[in-house]
């Protein structure tokens, strides 16, 4: 038996794998784009399935699609959305810039599945793609995929990290440590204060995502080829948005201006910018944890992260801050994805953006990576690091920068001289200040109390 079959399209005959659910147009794209080996990501396949189901419902309700035909298309599209046929989406992500190849891939797979149910012919263009164009389907798929991934996965993971971080801030609110600016010793802060800064970054990240989601929930379905809505009923877009809302649980709306939605990817660029900002926040938090964990003997050593795996193939006993390092690499990748998305967003030439698949891939990858990074940072670093209380207290007691608290009493110049001597002689600042000023030890203990110095308005 042959392992392929012959399919025909407007350009002629094509050999297609015998067991493939797709047809000629998909096979041509497979042959044309052997570039990265990366097929369409699962969230985009899910989105295409949901869109095709929603469109079939609307076409049925408008009397454009036979009831039985609509039913088998909806069922087949739902199977695609549920991930039952991901292997039938082999086209490389680096393909035609409109995503036409992947839209036709979905049309062909769904048509085959629907025909099997119906026991009769279902046409990928005339039936599955009715009232649609690749030019509105694929931009809609970008928005649907990104919204679902953000709302179902990223926001819960980010909330989990924020809650975990806030819990550690409350737990350690009374533990005083040496503050650091320029990586150098500075005035004291509490662990709770330091960690509260991380928590605020995460909360603002959540707020930014929510602020941008309304524009990502707006879809361009109904604009068809160039934004005029040719071959689609006048109210097709709003009806599809309502159907998608019911199918997905996310409140999608129809865009006010289809010409914007087809020609630009501003909402995706905006959301990528919010993801970039979140990545920058996570990079700062991960780096702080890495520095605070450094040592254990020759580094800062404020905390100890959980030991997760051996850190060296040659140095026995070495353990590395693997979770912060992994998170930092995720953040670097997200920053790179944002640059590519920004470049892609610039290529909205006249009535169509021509870098849609790349934008789609990078956006959903950034969401996916940040979701995993938030989860592991919360569970394997933030939740269980321990504080080196003895070491933190010893460093705090020797910190000459505490002399800043004496500025109003002895002046800056005298304070600098005391700090320099304390550094040089490696002595506690209180001992040197007692020798260099007329202040009593009791007065100095009050003025130089590190816990007192973490409160605003003292000095």
Catalytic residues: 182, 312
Cα–Cα distance for residue pair 250/151, rounded to 1 Å: 8
98 vs 231: CA distance, rounded Å: 19
Distance of CA 38 to the CA centre of its chain: 19
C-beta atoms surrounding 416 within 10 Å: 14
| Burial class of residue 280 in the structure, from the number of CB atoms within 10 Å of its CB (0-12 exposed, 13-18 middle, 19+ buried) | middle
Q: Which residue has the tokens 């002399």?
A: 403
**Tokens standing for residue 376:** 């592991």
């Amino acid at each position: 038996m042959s392992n392929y079959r012959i399919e025909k399209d407007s350009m002629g005959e094509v050999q297609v794998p015998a067991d493939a659910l797709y047809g000629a147009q998909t096979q041509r794209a497979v042959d044309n784009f052997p570039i990265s080996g990366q097929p369409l990501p699962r969230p985009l396949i899910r989105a295409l399935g949901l869109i095709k189901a929603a469109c079939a419902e609307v076409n049925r309700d408008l009397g454009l699609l036979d009831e039985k035909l609509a039913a088998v298309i909806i069922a087949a599209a739902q199977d695609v959305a549920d991930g039952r046929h991901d292997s039938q989406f082999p086209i490389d992500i680096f393909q035609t810039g409109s995503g036409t190849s992947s839209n036709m891939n979905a049309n062909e797979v769904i048509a085959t599945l629907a025909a099997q149910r119906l026991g009769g012919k279902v046409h990928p263009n005339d039936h599955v793609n009715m009232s649609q164009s690749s030019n509105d389907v694929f931009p809609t798929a970008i928005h649907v995929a990104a919204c679902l991934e953000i709302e179902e996965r990223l926001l819960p993971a980010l909330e989990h990290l924020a809650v975990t971080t806030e819990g550690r801030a409350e737990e350690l609110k009374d533990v005083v440590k040496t503050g650091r600016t320029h990586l150098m010793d500075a005035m004291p802060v509490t662990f709770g204060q330091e960690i509260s800064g991380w928590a605020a970054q995460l909360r603002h990240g959540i707020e930014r995502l929510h602020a941008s989601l309304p524009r990502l929930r707006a879809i361009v379905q109904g604009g068809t080829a160039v934004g005029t809505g040719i071959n689609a009923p006048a109210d097709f877009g709003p009806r599809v948005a309502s159907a998608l809302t019911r199918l997905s649980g996310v409140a999608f709306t129809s865009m006010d201006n289809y010409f914007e939605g087809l020609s630009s990817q501003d909402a995706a660029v905006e959301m990528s910018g919010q993801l970039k900002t979140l990545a920058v926040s996570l990079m700062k938090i991960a780096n702080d944890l890495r520095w605070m964990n450094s040592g254990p003997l020759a580094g800062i050593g404020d905390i100890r992260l959980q030991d997760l795996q051996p850190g060296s193939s040659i140095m026995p006993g070495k353990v590395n801050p693997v979770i912060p390092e992994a998170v930092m690499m995720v953040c670097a990748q997200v920053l790179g994805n944002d640059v590519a998305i920004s470049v892609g967003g610039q290529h909205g030439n006249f009535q169509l953006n021509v870098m849609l698949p790349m934008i789609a891939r990078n956006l959903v990858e950034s969401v996916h990576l940040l979701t995993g990074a938030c989860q592991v940072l919360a569970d394997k670093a933030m939740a269980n690091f321990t504080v080196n209380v003895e070491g933190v207290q010893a460093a705090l007691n020797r910190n000459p920068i505490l002399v800043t608290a004496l500025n109003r009493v002895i002046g800056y110049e005298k304070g600098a001289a005391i700090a320099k001597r304390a550094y040089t002689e490696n002595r506690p600042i209180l001992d040197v200040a007692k020798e260099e000023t007329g202040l009593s030890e009791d007065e100095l203990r009050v003025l130089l109390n590190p816990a007192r110095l973490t409160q605003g308005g003292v000095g």
